[in-house]
Structure 1
Amino acid sequence: MNEASQISEFGKVFIYLIMGVLFVLFTFFLGWLVALKKPNPEKLSSYECGEEPTGSSWIQFNSRFYVIALVFLLFDVEMVFIFPWATVFGQEVLLNADPRWGWLSLIEMFIFVGILLIGLVYVWKKGDLNWIRPEQLLPAAPTKISFSVYQALNDEKYQVKEFALNNVLVEPEKIQTAANPSSFKPAFKPKFKRPAE
């Protein structure tokens, strides 16, 4: 007869949530009230872990960042489900009430972990966890040139001329006779501005 009703227990949880929200809002209000309001360009700039942001924010990231983040999130969520399961699974009251409860919850967790391991094996076999050296694939393009022609070009040995510091200089008289002076135009025209007084 002295049992607490569920309404009062839910009421305690509701009061706890309301108090948590009020404490957070009060902290934000107190920070807004006390903070100095002197904006300058340095305060209004983005903060990037102590580094000054340079360039455009529209840069390309490697897609592996997202795959690794999703795999981490997958196993993080797995831990969130396994901890409550372990606490319930170890209760002797439930096991004494019905012995099948233990086997049912154990099989249920094996299925859950098995599905996650299948996903991990799939990601591993696909090569999405290879961070340093991804698998090199030869590009395939519709062409009529066979691969052996490209391989022959790659295997051919080319003669590289040695570098010499004493290059033969061409005399200026020969340069003037070789070029047509009537068609010669300078590459740029310098423009000088007078300084403002």
Structure 2
Amino acid sequence: MEKIIVQLILFVPLVILVILVVLGVSIILRKKVKLNREKSSPFECGFDSNSNFRLPFSLRFFLITIIFLIFDVEIVILLPAIYRLPKSILIYWSRVFFLFLLILLLGLFHE
């Protein structure tokens, strides 16, 4: 018990010292930037948020993004399931995979 207390007494000031050093270095080395209207305005999807005229959003870009997200989520879900496949009941997993792929294909056709 005494060993843990001694380690805490040595460790806590060391952590505080490292935090203060990192904070001091970040304050000293920060960039001094003049405020600029263009650089400080928010930038989202390439649109100028300060103007009233907005270009229509590209539907093709949106569909490609949605399809990418669908297949990205599919890979995240399928890889662990494939890893567990040899250790499980084959009929149960074939039904689960079929249902999952059916939902995925219906979402793809919907898009």
Q: Give the alignment's TM-score, normalised by structure 2.
A: 0.53
2:101 maps to 1:113: yes
Whole-angstrom distance in 2 between the partners of 1:30 and 1:116: 52
Q: List gaps (5 residues or longer) in structure 2.
A: 1-22
Q: How many pairs were matched up?
A: 82
Whole-angstrom distance in 2 between the partners of 1:85 and 1:67: 27
Whole-angstrom distance in 2 between the partners of 1:46 and 1:85: 45
Determine which of 35, 49, 66 is the counterpart of 2:30. 35
Deviation at 1:89, TM superposition (A): 1.0
Determine which of 68, 81, 85 is the counterpart of 2:81. 85
Other structure's SS at 2:57 match: coil
Change beyond 3 A, Cα 1:30–1:88: farther
Deviation at 1:104, TM superposition (A): 0.5
Aligned sequence identity (%): 28
Q: List gaps (5 residues or longer) in structure 1.
A: 1-28, 96-100, 124-197
Whole-angstrom distance in 2 between the partners of 1:30 and 1:43: 30
Whole-angstrom distance in 1 between the partners of 2:24 and 2:92: 52
More helix by share: 2
RMSD over equivalenced CA pairs, Å: 3.3
Q: What corresponds to 1:74 in structure 2?
A: 70
Q: Give the alignment's TM-score, normalised by structure 1.
A: 0.33
Other structure's SS at 2:33 match: coil
Select the structure with the greater relative contact order (CA < 8 A; seq sep ≥ 6). 2
